Structure 1
Amino acid sequence: MITTLIIVGFFVVVYLVFTNFYPSFGGNVTKEQQLFYASSKQFKNGKFNNTNPVPKDLSFLETLKLAYAFFTTKVPNGRPKADLKATKIDSVNVANYKGEARLVWFGHSSFLLQIEGKNILLDPMFGKVAAPLEILGANRFNTEFPLEIEKLPQIDAVIFSHDHYDHLDYQSVLKLKNKTNHFYVPLGVKAHLEAWNVSLDKISELDWWQNIQFEGINLVCTPAQHFSGRKLNNGQSTLWSSWVIQSKNENIYFSGDSGYASHFKEIGAKYGPFDLALMECGQYNEMWSDIHMMPEETAQAGIDVKAKKIMPIHWAGFKLALHEWTDPIKRVKKEAEALNIEVITPAIGQEIRVKNSVNNYSNWWENL
């Protein structure tokens, strides 16, 4: 028994030392920051909470069972047969662009939004794996991007939805921080950026339903039903969110990660209709459906937020669940047709005009 306790204690100490000193794990929210967050309706007993009582806290055995299922289940067609090819975009064209609002998808949930002459990045995750160390994760589906991070123009704003590794990436932030004017994040996420030496005067953190004006663009931090944490001992220490992005002529919704719940209708009632909604659709399973929507729910959520058209995101980037890699897009398209809501399906790097009424995107994922 003594020997077992010594071994367990050793590994606990190693884990704590490693996570506290290895930079990709990010920072920790301080006691002083927690006192400030206490004014948030979502912050209770030292943690952020969803409006609904989810996600369920798993026991140790339930966690082991879930981990075992994930790492041992073989998923046919779980990845593309080869790396997904990105449509390349010209760096000069991007730097000089002054046209109508457009987006470029970098895969998964990452976008470059060019609107009102501004360059805005949404959840810019350009890392190889969605994990703190490369040995802990599988490679992303695309090894090349439409435009390499070093060739991006000056970035006016970066918006993050939450602190999970497939959305907030240490190496990406290091490459972006000196070419980015400002970062907008949900409450608590500032701690990670601060740990990575992003200047505090370049960070604004918001609670749900708070908005901020950014050079003529209205940014609203809106609810999501999800969770947070970058290591075992800091779960729910930071908030998660979706975002509304409004210019004089465009209205865009970015869902972040979320299970299906009533907040979509609330957002639609307050800020809809939207010209385009970027809606989470991937990495789902019935075991965690309260924090990740099923594809059929994605289509319904698009109706709830009053979107004129939706684009499924959070797929075609990483294998983080047990479904086939094309299952999300096939199922959401089928349900959207039944519900009579338009779905657009651009390939990685293909230009997306926010107000374009012509949907000429192909089923590019077929036979891949």
Structure 2
Amino acid sequence: MGKELIILFLLVSGGIAALIWLYLRQPQFGRLPAGSYLKKLVMSPHYANGQFQNLLPTPMLVEDTSLVTSLVKFVLAQRKRPVPNEPVPSVKIDLLTLDGRQDVVIWLGHSSYFLQLGGRRILIDPVFSSYASPVPLVNRAFAGANPYAPDDMPGIDCLLISHDHWDHLDYPTVMALQSKIRQIVCPLGVGGYFLQWGFAPECIHEGDWFDRVEVAAGLTVELLPARHFSGRLLTRNRTLWAGFALLTAQRQVYYSGDGGYGPHLKDIGDRFGGFDLAIMENGQYDQRWRYIHMFPEEVAQAAVDVRARDVLPGHTAKFALANHPWDEPFRRITAASEYKPYRLLTPVIGQPVLLDDKEQPFSHWWETIQ
């Protein structure tokens, strides 16, 4: 009987292992860079010891915290209001009806944005799926936070992907948008996913930090440093991560991507002489990973560092990826922005922000829901 149980256990274990192996072979996971493609990546001055590096030492976790300890504490921690008790307010407009002469930004929830700059349409880190995770039913989007779908998007002149994490690079979304995307700009290694997924090589523009891409007449994108990490599974930093500067004849827009606070932010401000708008991450922070995500008070200082005139905070109000209350990022960035030399923009998801309208009002909408 004991021998039969052992054989049964081995068969079941083998079957589970085979199912996991098959699941991880699905295209959304992608394959790690290899061969001649990897040889191109290792030429980057930011690649060393088999992986991409930040500009300064950046541990994922604080020095006295192990990965296992951090995960256990995260899972067992008492979570206070991580998800709103009612739908997040949002609006939905017909993007095709936007006046092409207007510069507009629309926050699509979390770190997804639709922009119209200089007559060009830009989509940043779109995630229209109901979950931001390699595992179904994990990291579910808040009710009301997903009003747009790929079918609602017009033709996209430029898709920007800041890094390969699941809440920024969503396979179902980009595949549904494939026929609408003209150009893709992404950090080194991230273009490999799009090649694997059947996108035309000529439309993919990978870059290192400080590389510039002339996306179209009147629109230039420069990739910029961020203090973060990458990886869709357990292997880390085989692809680069980045922020972006979007440059037209009339406007300069900064997108921070994900990342911790650091001196690179002031350097970026000095490099460009300031930005008309800074789209900043502001959420999913924790003291245990303070080097790779900013606290709201650091976001406020970062906005000053990059010399932003307007600041649009995001990376929140759609997924609960940290243990803080869902609305805490808004409350803290609002308080931290008092007496700062910029205007804080707090639209609801889907609300057009008219960049030429300096009097456009915004509410503290998060105060109306629990």
The answer to which of 166-175 and 334-343 deviates more is 334-343
The answer to which of 40-49 and 63-72 deviates more is 63-72
What SS is found at the alignment partner of 1:82? Answer: coil
2:156 paired residue number: 155
Unmatched runs of 5 consecutive residues or more in structure 2: 1-5
Q: Deviations over 1:46-76 (max 9, x none)?
A: 20010111124799x9222222222222322
Question: What residue identity is the alignment partner of 1:251?
Answer: Q
Out of 98, 101, 104, the position equivalent to 2:100 is 98
1:362 paired residue number: 363
Distance change >3 Å, CA 92–CA 210, structure 1 → 2: closer
Question: What residue identity is the alignment partner of 2:163?
Answer: H
Provide the rounded CA distance (Å) in 1 between the counterparts of 2:75 and 2:61.
Answer: 20
What SS is found at the alignment partner of 1:224? Answer: coil
Out of 22, 27, 37, the position equivalent to 2:26 is 22
Question: What residue identity is the alignment partner of 1:364?
Answer: W
Asked whether the 8 Å contact 1:107–1:317 carries over to 2, the reply is yes
In our comparison, the structure showing a higher alpha carbon Rg is 2
Question: What residue identity is the alignment partner of 2:111?
Answer: S
Asked whether the 8 Å contact 1:104–1:112 carries over to 2, the reply is yes
Distance change >3 Å, CA 214–CA 342, structure 1 → 2: same
Asked whether the 8 Å contact 1:242–1:255 carries over to 2, the reply is yes
Out of 119, 134, 137, the position equivalent to 1:135 is 137
The Cα of 1:353 is off from its aligned counterpart by: 1.6
What SS is found at the alignment partner of 1:337? Answer: coil
Asked whether the 8 Å contact 1:34–1:46 carries over to 2, the reply is no
Provide the rounded CA distance (Å) in 2 between the counterparts of 1:173 and 1:288.
Answer: 29
- Residues 2-17 of structure 1: pairs in structure 2 closer than 5 A: 14=18, 17=21
The Cα of 1:339 is off from its aligned counterpart by: 3.4
Q: Do residues 242 (structure 1) and 246 (structure 2) align?
A: no
Question: What residue identity is the alignment partner of 1:312?
Answer: P
Q: Do residues 47 (structure 1) and 54 (structure 2) align?
A: no
Asked whether the 8 Å contact 1:26–1:170 carries over to 2, the reply is no
What SS is found at the alignment partner of 1:275? Answer: strand
The Cα of 1:28 is off from its aligned counterpart by: 1.9
1:78 paired residue number: 82
Asked whether the 8 Å contact 1:250–1:354 carries over to 2, the reply is no
Q: Deviations over 1:9-65 (max 9, x none)?
A: 959954872464122212321132221122211101220010111124799x92222
2:220 paired residue number: 218
Asked whether the 8 Å contact 1:159–1:183 carries over to 2, the reply is yes
Asked whether the 8 Å contact 2:61–2:289 carries over to 1, the reply is no
Percent of pairs with identical residues: 33
Distance change >3 Å, CA 56–CA 283, structure 1 → 2: closer
What SS is found at the alignment partner of 2:137? Answer: helix
The Cα of 1:296 is off from its aligned counterpart by: 0.2
Provide the rounded CA distance (Å) in 1 between the counterparts of 2:154 and 2:77.
Answer: 42
Q: Deviations over 1:172-202 (max 9, x none)?
A: 0110111111111000001111222112121
What SS is found at the alignment partner of 2:66? Answer: helix
Out of 33, 36, 43, the position equivalent to 1:32 is 36
1:120 paired residue number: 122
Q: Deviations over 1:145-192 (max 9, x none)?
A: 2x4321211111100100000000010011011111111100000111
Q: Which runs of 4+ in 1 moved over 4 A?
A: 9-16, 56-59
Asked whether the 8 Å contact 2:130–2:146 carries over to 1, the reply is no
Question: What residue identity is the alignment partner of 2:45?
Answer: K
Question: What residue identity is the alignment partner of 2:313?
Answer: P
Cα RMSD of the aligned pairs, angstroms, is 2.4
Asked whether the 8 Å contact 1:101–1:114 carries over to 2, the reply is yes
Provide the rounded CA distance (Å) in 2 between the counterparts of 1:367 and 1:199.
Answer: 46
Distance change >3 Å, CA 187–CA 141, structure 1 → 2: farther
Question: What residue identity is the alignment partner of 2:38?
Answer: Q
- Residues 276-291 of structure 1: pairs in structure 2 closer than 5 A: 276-291=277-292
2:3 paired residue number: none
Provide the rounded CA distance (Å) in 1 between the counterparts of 2:150 and 2:326.
Answer: 25
Q: Do residues 67 (structure 1) and 68 (structure 2) align?
A: no
Provide the rounded CA distance (Å) in 1 between the counterparts of 2:215 and 2:72.
Answer: 45
- Residues 176-187 of structure 1: pairs in structure 2 closer than 5 A: 176-187=177-188
Asked whether the 8 Å contact 2:107–2:350 carries over to 1, the reply is yes
What SS is found at the alignment partner of 1:134? Answer: coil
Provide the rounded CA distance (Å) in 1 between the counterparts of 2:200 and 2:45.
Answer: 28
